Chain A
Amino acid sequence: MNDFLEFFSFADANIRYVTLGSVLLASSSAVVGCFTLLRKRALVGDAVAHAVLPGVCLAFILSGTKNPFILLLGAFITGWISLVTIDFITSRSRIKEDTAIGLVLSVFFGIGILLLTAIQHSGNAAQSGLDKFLFGKAASLVGEDLIAFAIVAVLLLVTTIIFYKELTLLCFDQAYAKTIGFPVRLLELLLTTLTVFAVVVGIQAVGVVLMAAMLITPAAAARFWTDKLHLMLVLAALIGAFSGVAGAFVSYTAPAMPTGPWIVLIVSMIAIFSFAFAPKKGWVSRLFRQRRNKTHILEENLLKLMYQLGEKKPGFDAPRQLHELLERRAIPQKEAKAGLKRLIKQGYVERTPEGWKLSSQGQRRGERVVRLHRLWELYLTQYLHLASDHVHEDAETIEHIITPELEQKLMEELGFPVMDPHSARIP
């Protein structure tokens, strides 16, 4: 608790730097990541992250200094070249995008390692610390880094806001954007440049491998909570910022802990939680929905069966046995019993000593299912000219889906029919 208060008072300048730096980095790359994710090119971030290494080394060899701006410039140039190369390879040969990404990533990184080791072996004393670019140093951020982060973060955010409409169109409907005269090539280059910017700056905090996560993971998590792009951007930035703070806090309480990996671990946990539990899109809520649909269909089928039995002699008032229902349709006995019990609770079915019978409410609902079934069969035979023995299966599924409006429309289209193709009465 003490640690907690001490950390969040931000009294220590070092804590301020690390936390602010992580937040700026995580949230700005999350925003850019949303666009690359939506363009289905999430992994290019990984390629850029690896491709900056040769740039850093070349910049060092050519300039002979470790001036961060020159190194960053080198990193920026090769990162940018790597993305252009991926585009060029995929558009000019039959190599697929994933292969091109893997190829560019590993070859650029290989060249980088070759240069880095050559520099290290050359005995140049000034080289030490170049490999910081590889593994990140979030815990040792200083004021200067923070200024760089802040500049880049603001630049990225402002550009995103200015070009929000254009970038959105680029993500969702590139062909349309081209048709109405947007400079699609230029916009692609803009997005490429933004990605490279985010990566080049971020890599110093979390390292080559984990940079991909800073771009992809918050965006992937945010995607599960909303369908609106502006909300997704805000959410991704918030998720990024939260993990930035949390990661900085962990490495503050346990100094041996590396900040970057903790940021990634936390953001990944948020993402995995979202994949599983996000309302509507999450895995669990999808399972629930499937189950609900299944019970809904079972109940409607039971009501339908009871109604069909009721159409025959002795009529709707006669109680029916379970085996009579199961003779007409193979439903596992246990499921059928559970379904009937639920229907009793809902007031659609009544239990009498001799068996089950429909309540008046149940009769109406059963009637509706039967009506939809027979209407649909009629529709298929009349309008699609399907043979009457081919239409039952299709009607079995659609009877649970048709809405009252559609039902009305069908009735009108078919002229309020009386008989279905099997000469059964349409109730």
Chain B
Amino acid sequence: MNAFWIILTGSLVATCCSLLGCYLILRRMAMVGDAISHAVLPGIVIAFLFTGSRDSVPMLIGAGLLGVLTTFLIEFFHRYARVQADASIGVTFTWLFAIGIILISVFAGQVDLDQDCVLYGEIAYVPLDLWITEGGLSLGPGTVWTLGFVTILIILFITFGYKELFLTAFDPAFAAAIGISTTAWYYSLMTAVSLTTVASFESVGAILVVALLVAPPATAYLLTDKFKSMLLISVLAGIIASVAGYYLAVWIDGSIAGAIATVTGIEFTLAFLFSPTRGILLKRKQLQPVQH
């Protein structure tokens, strides 16, 4: 049963991340995802200080706000102070992360958090944290419920905002011309990324979030030219990685999050080498002259 809960958690995280990641990598914002996943730390600490518990809702709010603030700061430094885009990302997230660690040290007695849990989480503890109703009925791990809720939100967001998200990613000028607010959709997307990051950090950690945000979409990007199939393939790749990663971790007795990230890397390598249209091993054949 534990294996089931862990794989389910991994798959839920993989679904959210892979879907949002497709938009991020097409907008050339993969590193913004990385930045957000680190910069939510002070938000989590502050939410923890206010509520004194690891309750999900305040943390989701705290970190969600920080995530949006991160995006805003990156934009602000880049647009108004004309800081080079990549430097603006690097400065912002390291600054916020440093503040987070300092807050943890200041309130060391009160905050039951440490940075390694933020960085690589512990998905193996998911089944231990059961949600038990007053009647004594066990409804399964609380994390799964939180993640399930976030996954549904993300899927709804992408289904209903499909056209807008698609247009603002591929042709922002056209989107603006037909009256779609690029800024509003940009910030909604970033809020969604922050939400996902926070909902999953406790179980899988920031690094797995980044791996799942970037690797499955990048794999899918090498396999297809259609955006809808890219979304589907990347979700599929994410879920396969969760399942395979779990068994890899059990086999060599290591971190599950680390193993899932490793598998996403293997998937990408396979696509990179053998993709029928873009793999570097098969592409070469196409380039050979046709014999008449």
A332 to B81, CA, bound (A): 29
Q: Are A43 and B119 CB-contacts (below 8 A) given A98-B29, A257-B105, A268-B95? A: no
A residues near B91, Cβ cutoff 8 Å: 213, 216-217, 220, 268, 271-272
Q: Which of A43, A94, A107, A283 has the most CB of B within 10 A?
A: A107
A residues near B105, Cβ cutoff 8 Å: 256-258, 261
Interface bits A93-105 vs B (CB < 8 Å: 1, else 0): 1111011111101
B54 within 8 A of A: no
Interface contact A112-B258, CB-CB below 8 Å: yes
Identify B30's interface contact among A50, A101, A134, A223, CB under 8 A: A101
Identify A262's interface contact among B33, B86, B102, B116, CB under 8 A: B102
B274 within 8 A of A: no
A106 within 8 A of B: yes
- Find the A residue at minimum CB distance from B275: A93
How near does chain B come to A272, taking the closest CB pair, in angstroms? 8
Interface contact A106-B261, CB-CB below 8 Å: yes
A residues near B265, Cβ cutoff 8 Å: 103, 107-108, 110-111
Interface contact B258-A265, CB-CB below 8 Å: no
A203 within 8 A of B: no
A93 to B283, CA, bound (A): 10
A106 to B30, CA, bound (A): 11
A174 to B97, CA, bound (A): 34
Q: Are A43 and B31 CB-contacts (below 8 A) given A107-B264, A281-B82? A: yes
Interface contact A220-B84, CB-CB below 8 Å: yes
A residues near B115, Cβ cutoff 8 Å: 135, 207, 209
B246 within 8 A of A: no
Which of B58-66, B170-178, B181-189, B215-223 is near enough to bind chain A?
B215-223
Majority-rule SS of A interface residues = helix
Identify A102's interface contact among B31, B88, B262, CB under 8 A: B31
B28 within 8 A of A: yes
A residues near B210, Cβ cutoff 8 Å: 102, 105-106
How near does chain A come to B19, taking the closest CB pair, in angstroms? 16
How near does chain A come to B289, taking the closest CB pair, in angstroms? 21
Interface bits B258-271 vs A (CB < 8 Å: 1, else 0): 11111011001000
Interface contact B258-A114, CB-CB below 8 Å: yes
- Find the A residue at minimum CB distance from B272: A93
Interface residue tally of chain A, by bracket?
A: 35 or more
Interface contact A106-B214, CB-CB below 8 Å: yes
A265 to B249, CA, bound (A): 36
A264 within 8 A of B: yes
Interface residue tally of chain B, by bracket?
A: 35 or more
Interface contact A210-B280, CB-CB below 8 Å: no
A223 to B90, CA, bound (A): 15
B residues near A216, Cβ cutoff 8 Å: 86-87, 90-91, 94
Which of A115-123, A227-235, A343-351, A397-405 is near enough to bind chain B?
A115-123
Interface contact A256-B102, CB-CB below 8 Å: no
A72 within 8 A of B: no
Interface contact A43-B89, CB-CB below 8 Å: yes
A116 to B258, CA, bound (A): 9
Q: Are A111 and B258 CB-contacts (below 8 A) given A220-B83, A220-B84? A: yes
Identify B81's interface contact among A102, A107, A275, CB under 8 A: A275
How near does chain B come to A29, taking the closest CB pair, in angstroms? 13
Interface contact B31-A98, CB-CB below 8 Å: yes
Identify B278's interface contact among A94, A275, A286, CB under 8 A: A94
Can you report 20 residue pairs joining A to B where beta carbons are below 8 Å apart? Answer: A45-B90, A93-B222, A95-B221, A98-B31, A100-B218, A106-B261, A109-B261, A110-B207, A110-B260, A113-B255, A116-B258, A134-B116, A210-B98, A213-B90, A213-B94, A256-B106, A258-B102, A264-B97, A268-B95, A281-B82
Given contacts A105-B34, A110-B208, 10 further A-B contacts (CB under 8 A): A42-B86, A42-B87, A42-B90, A99-B221, A113-B258, A209-B97, A209-B119, A220-B83, A223-B87, A282-B81
